[in-house]
Structure formats: structure tokens, C-alpha cells
Structure 1
Amino acid sequence: MTTKVLNTSENNVALHGEKPNYIHSLNVEPISPAIGAIIHNFDLSQPLTSTVLSQINELFLQYQVLFFRNQNLAPSKQRDFARAFGELHIHPVYPSLPDVPEAIILDTAQNDLKDNALWHIDVSFSPTPPLGAVLAARQLPQCGGDTLWASGTAAYRALSSEMKRHLEHLTAIHDFTRSFPLSRFGRTEKERELWEETRRKNPPVEHPVIRVHPETGERALYVNQGFTTEICGIERDESDALLNYLFQHISKPDFSLRWRWQDGDVAFWDNRVTQHYAIDDYRPHRRIMHRVTILGDKPVGPSIT
């Protein structure tokens, strides 16, 4: 796919056709019609002006996940870039860098990362799930270890009108223990104490099945295999059947992309309307990623907007 330098002289129609963009001198390569773009020849380690940050944010809202190749981004710079978009999150389970506590370490030699090898929205078990995240590749296997991202807005648009109406007023439970069970994260007394403390601080929460994006107003499916356990107000077998359908629907290739990581890659995604899947196909080789997560707001459904 060819790249395109977007500039202020162009009346560029947005990827989904809703409104024009006005972006100056950023070399942008869309990845798929549904989601994703690469910003070429851009150095995230350099100071970024408010104008450039605003332009990146506009692309972030449009494409939902942005990729930057060939970065030499120290963890502190990764944190600083993420902080430009909001306050930062401290993960309750994963270890972090001692000098950059906002940067969690995803290391297959140290962590049980099976919870990443399924479709999930980061920390959707929180009353205010993250806005987004910045992920940097630190050590990669020779092959494998790709990550998939899917667009909840594209998946929502593809639903029938009848299904959209059916889902509009529904809510669902998101539970920390679905991806962080005690059997895997309580193997020692210290781990068990941390797990129990985290469980007390993060009881199950209820979110709308359809989320309205707080900035764009777009609607997105907001259930995920990682943390959604049931749909409220209906029988359990009905809930299981509906959730299974929605999980399969959003994972269709039509709404997703597959990113093959290279050394120096950085990804920046909108956690409010996307979900992702870290493919666990490279064992026994090692994979190390650093993630900095941006705090978000309480999900709102269409029934109260």
C-alpha cells in the first residue's frame, strides 16, 4: 500500500468518510479500511509541539491504532509521549520498571502472559478503563509474536439494525478474575496476597455493551473475551450465546489487522474502541515489551447520551 503525506492544503476525507482531516507533513500509510495506520519517518523521542500532538491525536481517533517504525525510545521518553495524552495508569498485577513505574514489563521469561493471548480490552474490569496505551518492542523472537487489533466501531457498523437495537440498552459484567485467576496468579503466598488485594480493589463492574466514544461520538462493541463474563438482565444461557456471537463477530478479519513486530516498533492504540490479541506462538523464545497505559473515563452507552 502506498504512503501519503497529508498536509494542510488537502481536504482529506477521513478513513470512514465522516469528516475531513487537516494534517500537516505527516507521512501516513493506512493499513486496512477498518483500522490502523503507520506514521513513517517520525521520531517519538524528540520534543513534540502541541500542534504535532494535536495532529497525532486526530490520526489516533481516525485510525484507532498508530504504528511508528525504527524508534529509539527510552522508557522515560515512552512515558513522556503517553503522558501528553493523559494521566498514566499503574497496573495492579504486572511488574514495572524501577525507574519508570508507569511502564509495565511484559516478559515471557518472567510473566504468565496467557491472558494476552485472547481478544481483550486492557483493564476493562476497571470502572474507568484506560483511554489507550503505548507499547514498545524491546526484545523479539526470530519469528512469531505478532499482535492483532480489531475495531469495535467497524464491528458495530456491520451489525444488523435489529441487533444494534437489541444491544443498545444492554450492559455486561467485566471481571478481573476472568483473565487473572488465582490458580495462575496466586502460586506463592506473596502472589496470593497481591491477588487478594487486587481483587478487593477491583470488584466486578458493569459497562454498556455498546460504548459511545467520548470524543468522536462513534458507537463500538464493548465486550471482550478477556474480562466480560455475562450480560446483565437475561438468562445465563442467553448471555453465553450472545457473548459468544459477539466475540466471534468482532474477531472477523474484516475488522482487524495483524502487526508483525520489528525491532524499534511502537504502537499507540485507542483502548476505548479497539481490542487486541497477542499471539502466543513463539515459545520457548523470549519476547519483551514495555507498555505505558493512559487513564480513561467511565464508559457511556447510547441510552444515556
Structure 2
Amino acid sequence: MSQAAVRSRTAALSIAPLTPTIGAEVSGIHLSKPVDEETRAALREALLEWKVIFFREQDITTEQHLAFARNFGELEVHPFAPHKDGFPEVLAITHDRDRPGKENKWHSDVTWRECPSLGSVLRAVEVPEVGGDTLFSDMYAAYDGLSDEVKEKIEGAVAVHDFAHFRVLMQKRGKTPEEIEAMNRKYPKVEHPVVRTHPETGRKGIYVNVAFTQHIVGMEKEASDALLAHLYAQAAIPEYQCRFRWKANSIAFWDNRACQHYAVSDYWPALRKMERVTIIGDRPY
């Protein structure tokens, strides 16, 4: 989508790509104000084209953050992560000297859900002077770059996803076996396609990630582990990536169906305080 095409929708909105395939900064809009239908359509088009869009200098309230995200769907409540007081839909992601950053793995959000996230809207409240960037990787490009042999191996394959990391955290926090088992029943392991077809663009993208994918169904463990390791490694290829340097009141809105992200944990012991709202998606196919 060209910048001119965006301007034809609404004269106020401007798109500045960060790379040829992924990431673009959007200007000419302030998210404190209601989004009209024309602007909403232009933003959705930009998200589909660039997989992640960024906004600068957005000094907004929590209520405005939520209202903006609701333009694109219903919001989820994360059952394991801490939320902002009084706002169950807002994840409070704070790291400092006593709580080092830990989101430094390539992943797509909540793929352990039966219907994983459509997208996430992350707001920077307080960030380090240097460090704490987030990288995003284009899973369409990652799929397109696979060899024909690998594409053939994963055609029609499905993989198991699980909230294993959060289960460990529950144990460390002293949750009882009964409480953990209740969450296992509520959020059972799910199977999703190794290659997802995006419901809006129709494009294929790799849909396994090191944070939540367990194994490929019907494949011996050694073969599954080797193939998954190869697929995971594609996210780390620089040609598929963009990198965003945060400032206070910056916002990133990414499509979890088309990209993965990696929060660089290079800023300890500095404070990094973020708030995330997540939009419910549909079942992958």
C-alpha cells in the first residue's frame, strides 16, 4: 500500500514505512480522539499491509487506550499476567532492578488459546534512556523464504500449543495443584496449523513460536524438534525484521496473525513500564 493510497482515504493520515515489508509509523492522528469509520478502515489497511504500525507522542489515558483497541474487536482478559488496577483488560508489564525483562523470545501472543489474538496494542509509559527496543518479524516473508522441501513437509501440518511457561509461574507463586488443574481444564492444549492462512489477506505465514509451541502432531520428537527449530530460526533473519525504539507515549499495534515480536532485554537495571491491550481473534486455519 503506497503512502498516496493512504492519503486517498483520509488526508490527515500519513504512513512512513520502516522497512520494505514490515513496520510503518503513522502520523496525522491522535488516539485520544474517537476514530471515525474512514480512519478506522485506513488503519486496518495499514495494519494488514505492514503487520505492525507505530504511533508517536500519544499521551492518552487508559480509557482512551481501551477505546482505540475496541475499534478493531473485543478485548481479552489475560488469565495469568498481572493487570492494571481497575482495568482487567490492560496488562501491566513492568521490569526494573528486581524484575528483569523476560519477553526476549520470538513469539506471537497467546497462541495457547483456542482463538488466539488478532492483535496487540502496546503503550510505553516509561522507558529506559537507551535499550528496551522491540523487534518484529514478518511471518509471510519467513514462509516465502522457506525451501520447497520444507514447505512440503509442513503443508497441512498442525502443532500443539500450551501455556507451559505460565504453568511454571503459577507453581512458583504457590498455586495449588488443584488451582493449576482448573486452569488446565479451562485452557487445554490446542492444535493450530504450522502454516496459518491469514483470514483477511489470504496470505500464508509461519505460525509456530518458541514460547508456546510444543511439538508437531504425528511426528517423532527428534524430527519435530529439528523442524520446529528451523522454523523458529526464521524469525531471527534480519531481512524479515523491523526494530522500534521506544519513547514515552509511543504505541505499537501489531497483527499477531502475521508477525512475531521480541522485546530486547538489554536495559537492566533500568525501569521499563508498558501497558498492553489485546484484541480477540479467531481460530487459525
Aligned 8 A contact 2:134 2:244 in 1: yes
Q: Secondary structure at the match of 2:172?
A: coil
2:194 aligned partner: 209
Alignment of 1:78-97 (within 5 A): 78-97=65-84
- For structure 2, which runs of at least 5 residues remain unmatched after alignment? none
- Following the alignment from structure 1 to structure 2, what is the Cα–Cα distance between the partners of residues 199 and 112? 27
Alignment of 1:153-232 (within 5 A): 153-177=140-164, 179-182=165-168, 184-190=169-175, 195-232=180-217
2:269 aligned partner: 284
Aligned 8 A contact 2:6 2:14 in 1: no
More displaced stretch, 267-276 vs 97-106: 97-106
Residue by residue over 1:220-269, the C-alpha shift from the partner in whole angstroms, topping out at 9 and shown as x without a partner, is 00000110111111110000100111111222111111111011100000
Question: CA offset at residue 194 of structure 1?
Answer: 5.6
Aligned 8 A contact 1:169 1:208 in 2: yes
- Following the alignment from structure 1 to structure 2, what is the Cα–Cα distance between the partners of residues 25 and 193? 54
Instruction: Quickly say closer, same or farther: Cα 1:163–1:190, change in 2 above 3 A.
Output: closer
Whether 1:145 aligns to 2:132 is yes
More displaced stretch, 250-259 vs 105-114: 105-114
Give the total of aligned pairs.
Answer: 283
Aligned 8 A contact 1:106 1:113 in 2: no
1:241 aligned partner: 226
- Following the alignment from structure 2 to structure 1, what is the Cα–Cα distance between the partners of residues 7 and 173? 57
Greater relative contact order (Cα < 8 A, sep 6+): 2
TM-score scaled by length of structure 1: 0.87
Question: CA offset at residue 143 of structure 1?
Answer: 1.3
Instruction: Quickly say closer, same or farther: Cα 1:75–1:103, change in 2 above 3 A.
Output: same
Aligned 8 A contact 2:100 2:265 in 1: no
TM-score scaled by length of structure 2: 0.93
1:256 aligned partner: 241
Question: CA offset at residue 7 of structure 1?
Answer: 5.0
1:17 aligned partner: none
Alpha-carbon RMSD across the aligned residues, in angstroms, is: 2.0
- Following the alignment from structure 2 to structure 1, what is the Cα–Cα distance between the partners of residues 112 and 99? 20
- For structure 1, which runs of at least 5 residues remain unmatched after alignment? 10-21, 301-305
